[in-house]
Amino acid sequence: VRNIEDLQHMLSIGGGVTIQFLGDEGMREISFMPNNIPELKKTEGQTFQLAYKTVTHLQRLERSHPMQPVHPMSDGELDAHVADLQENGYVILREQIAPGYLDPLRDIAQRAADDYIAEWRGGMKLPEVRILDGNGKRNFTINPNARICYMWGEAAIELLDHDTVHAICERAMGTYYLLDLIANTVRYHPDARQGRFHRDFRPGLTEEGMHNGLWFFFILDGYSEKNGGTKVIPRTHCFKADEPEIMDPEPDSDSNKIQATGDPGDLLIVNAGGLHCPGVNQTPDPRRTLNIRVVPKSERLFCNAWELAGPELQAKASERVKRFMQPPADLVAELRTDWRVTPRREKS
């Protein structure tokens, strides 16, 4: 319900509507039935005022329930999107976050980026992680502040419960686990240059032809060519472990590269085994995304997300999120749980 006309329409087609929302005095519930319609049309009266207050407190209303896309998709629509993802290695879905959720998520992304920069300037040493991947064992450094963003607030835990993420993963990956939740914040810098096209993992597909990893970029400020939205090269993800990588046939041409564009609340899904790169932000405003990175059971998991979250956030998580964040039993003992990230410290 986004306005009073929506509410009137829902009642006019013969159904009742019950709205629960968190008010100043705790959980409130208001029920409307078709016989309320004459009162709703009045410019005065308690029923209209209650409905109006509910609409103006839409952000509270939305956030009292699990995060959902603005327009939930049918099984047929989801299957079509998975087919596009299978063929091209990317897909863009519209209106996956309602407007009332965007500001809390922007705050998480911004705080993570700001604190990362502050600690980096203060001499923070990034943890070193040793993992197995398609190239054998390797070490890399990782910053918990920007990669464990589910610890930055309740809205991030709610984002991990997003219906579209789980529906796509079930179809495209089968068994799947949370790798991390990354804050990607790109500011304007006059000397910045476009990053190189690269792959985050190899191969793009499992032996069974399932996706070997999917990145879910929730767009918080919009994606455009000017602010450096992600670029992808379609179909370069379509190779398995015993097959050669599919390379860019024209590395110096832009004709086969796709510039992802989208509005705040849209979702870009990428098989990051294909070639992709971030663009350069040429605007004065930040370009922020929260990226839920999902993998099948593999050695690429580097932390026990569920244990890191701790009791307070665990209590806010659904059973689906708990399963998503808990690594496979045979990897638990090897995964780190000792990172301290900024949200656990008191703010001055």
DSSP state of 273: T
* Region label for 189, one of left (φ > 0), alpha (ψ between -120 and 50) or beta (otherwise): beta
Same domain as 43, residue 167? no
Residue 248 lies in a domain: yes
Of 91, 275, 104, 281, the C-alpha closest to 185 is 281
Looking at this protein, which amino acid is placed at residue 36? N
**Can you say whether the dihedral through the CA atoms of 252, 193, 217, 245 is positive or negative?**
positive
Residues 56, 95 share a domain: no
Between 26-35, 171-180, 205-214, the lowest mean confidence (pLDDT) is in 26-35
State whether 174 and 290 are in the same domain: yes
Residue 347 scores a pLDDT above 70: no
**69 is a domain residue:** no
136 and 267 together in one domain: yes
At 304-318, the pLDDT tens digits run 999 999 999 999 999
pLDDT top residue among 298 and 83: 83
Q: Which residues contact 35 (CB under 8 A, 6 or more apart)?
A: none
pLDDT recorded at residue 344: 45
**Residues 42 and 109 occupy one common structural domain:** no
Say yes or no: 193 and 49 in one domain.
Answer: no
Does the CA dihedral 278-288-65-20 come out positive or negative? negative
Report the run of H or E that residue 4 belongs to, with start and end. Answer: helix 4-12
pLDDT over 90, % of the chain: 46
**Could you tell me if 164 and 30 lie in one domain?**
no
So what's the pLDDT on residue 126?
Answer: 80
- Whether residues 164 and 239 fall in one domain: yes
**Highest mean pLDDT: which range of 39-43, 188-192, 319-323:** 319-323
pTM (2 d.p.): 0.79
Q: pLDDT tens for residues 31-44?
A: 655 554 444 444 33
Q: Are 55 and 80 members of one domain?
A: no
Least reliable range by pLDDT among 81-95, 163-177, 238-252: 238-252
Question: Is 11 within a domain?
Answer: yes
Q: Which domain holds residue 57?
A: 4-63
In the prediction, which pLDDT does 15 show? Answer: 57
Question: Which residue among 63, 92, 111 closes a domain?
Answer: 63
Q: Is 346 exposed, middle or buried (0-12, 13-18, 19+ CB in 10 A)?
A: exposed
How many domains does the chain fold into?
A: 2
Give the position of tokens 């190899």. 202
Answer yes or no: is 282 within a domain: yes
> Buried b / exposed e across 61-98, counting CB within 10 Å, b at 16+?
bbbeeebbbeeebeeeebeebbebbbebbbbbbeebbb
pLDDT tens-digit profile of 268-293? Answer: 999 999 999 988 888 888 899 999 99
pLDDT value of position 306: 95
Per-chain mean pLDDT for the chain: 81
pLDDT digits (tens, 9 = 90+) for 228-277: 889 999 999 999 999 999 998 887 777 889 999 999 999 999 999 999 99
Q: What is the CATH number of the domain that holds 127?
A: 2.60.120.620
Position 70 in a domain? no
Q: How far is residue 287's CA from residue 222's CA, in Å, rounded to a whole number?
A: 7
Q: 106: which 2 tokens?
A: 């922007």
348 in a structural domain = no
All residues at 6 or more sequence positions from 134 whose CB lies less than 8 Å from its CB, including other chains: 201, 202, 203, 241
Does one domain contain both 129 and 23?
no
Exposed / middle / buried, residue 137 (Cβ in 10 Å: 0-12, 13-18, 19+): exposed
Asked which of 36, 63, 90 is the last residue of a domain, the reply is 63
Q: Which of 39, 63, 87 is the last residue of a domain?
A: 63
Domain presence at residue 22? yes
For residue 146, tell me if it sits in a domain.
yes
Please tell me whether residues 48 and 189 are part of one structural domain.
Answer: no
User: Which has the higher per-residue pLDDT, 187 or 240?
Assistant: 240
d(CA 65, CA 161): 11
Can you give the pLDDT at residue 99?
87
Instruction: Please check whether residues 23 and 59 belong to one and the same domain.
Output: yes
